[in-house]
A and B are shown apart, each in its own frame.
Chain A
Amino acid sequence: MRQIPTKKIADTVNALCLQANTELTSDVEKALKQALKQETSKTGREILQQILENAKIARKEKLPICQDCGLAFIFIEIGQEVKVTDGSLTKAINDGVKQGYKQGYLRKSTTSDPLTRENPGTNLPAMVHTEIVPGNKLKITVMTKGGGAENCSAIKMFKPTSSKNEIDDFIVATVKNNGANACPPLIIGVGIGGSFDQAPLLAKKSLLRKVGSSSKWEKELLNKINRLGIGPMGLGGKATALTLHLKKGPCHISSLPVAVNIECHAHRVKSTII
């Protein structure tokens, strides 16, 4: 067994929270520059320039890219030959998030109760998803995701005999109805299959991929969405979405769940392998 102490894990999560919130990843920046080249709306171009300028200031001054530093989603892939020492893995992750959000002057947006809305000011608990994988490594991915875009997401339980067109229509309609409120140009995660709980997780995990639609279906959907004319910040234009990622999973003979997880252009994901 390979031993990894909890302190190492907490320190890594801390550093990833700081990086994710202040350094826009190069793939998103590249996609924004590409969108700027193709944008025909004058206002749309101005907004894309402001977004790129914002990323520059944030990186240089270590300021949060967005005031909504999000819920802290932590995706853990832990090798089955790893033994975590000196305490609890969950506590180490939470300690790292708490420390990172404090050190980086990041906004704490996690409420402890959905109805009383009490905000303990720690951004805890972290939203942790853990997977056990072969090997002796530990992969930690931090995604900080704002509430405005998350609110525009949707799930629908289709019939197993539903057509691809019906699924396409649902995905495009989700963006059409709410996309303008989610800080376009968007990054769209689609989860197809699994169960009522798994489809949204597939959609969320598809957001972790490097930006760029690859399959024929992804490209078709992205083209349809970019023909909606929503544009940067919903003020009209070509750049409604930068990319669409689709992830499929096995499901029940009676089911065909489809989840659309909407992400804003301030897409903040950082990973490390220990």
Chain B
Amino acid sequence: MHIELKAPLSDNDIKKLKVGDKVLIAGKILVARDLAHQKMVKKSPLDLNGSIIYYASPTPTPPHYTIGSIGPTTATRMDAFTPALIRKGIKITIGKGKRDPKVMAGSVYLVVPGGAAALLSKSVVNSKVLAYAELGSEALREIEVVGFPAIVAIDLKGRSIFK
């Protein structure tokens, strides 16, 4: 049984998510990693309220494709920036690997299988660069997804799937 999620999200939307739940995401997701985070915390180029951030940077888009392979990167590298972005309204982050629930307070952390990047690209129906184009593959993107599968790794109560 999958729970369906669609951004923009409210606190009520994420309250129902419990550690271990399987979710399917539809709609718009922001894509950013290390360098874009460093810039976004100083001055965000867009309203982050209710949004979802996916820690990733895709391979270049081949001809006739929407996007290249796009799997998650290690989430904990973004920890230094995450609380500031949660204060700006981020509700969900998506990545891979262990994280400290304290860093995530006020948001929910989802994981997707790392190294399944070609498979995950099949859930992406639209992609565009929103800002920091100079960062190349690390630019801030917005992707639109359908049936993007993820697992709740840390919920709003701070319960973690990791031992």
Contact = CB atoms under 8 A, between A and B. Distances in A.
Interface of A: 43, 47, 50-51, 53-54, 57-58, 61, 63-69, 105-109, 117, 119, 121, 146, 148, 151, 180-183, 229-230, 232-236, 264-266
Interface in B42-77: 56-62, 68-71, 73-74, 76
Nearest to B97: A181
Interface string B14-27: 00000010000000
B149 to A, nearest CB: 8
A183 B96 contact: yes
Nearest to B70: A67
A63 B121 contact: yes
B35 interface: yes
A265 B114 CA distance: 9
Contact of A121 (B68, B71, B136): B136
Given A43-B151, A66-B69, A181 B74 contact: yes
B96 A233 contact: yes
B111 A67 contact: no
A61 B69 CA distance: 11
A230 B163 CA distance: 8
Interface of B: 20, 35, 56-62, 68-71, 73-74, 76, 96-98, 111, 113-122, 135-138, 151, 153, 161-163
A181 B115 contact: no
A107 B60 contact: yes
A51 B113 contact: yes
Contacts of A265: 115
5 nearest A-B residue pairs (beta carbon): A181-B97, A266-B115, A183-B114, A54-B119, A54-B116
Contacts of A106: 59-60
Given A64-B59, A67-B56, A107-B137, A235 B161 contact: yes
Given A63-B59, A119-B137, 18 more contacts: A50-B119, A53-B119, A57-B122, A63-B62, A64-B59, A66-B69, A67-B59, A67-B71, A67-B117, A105-B60, A105-B62, A107-B60, A109-B137, A119-B138, A146-B115, A148-B114, A181-B74, A236-B161
Contact of A67 (B58, B97, B122): B58
B71 A66 contact: yes
B111 to A, nearest CB: 6
B115 A51 contact: yes
Contacts of A63: 59, 62, 68-69, 117-118, 121
Contacts of A229: 163
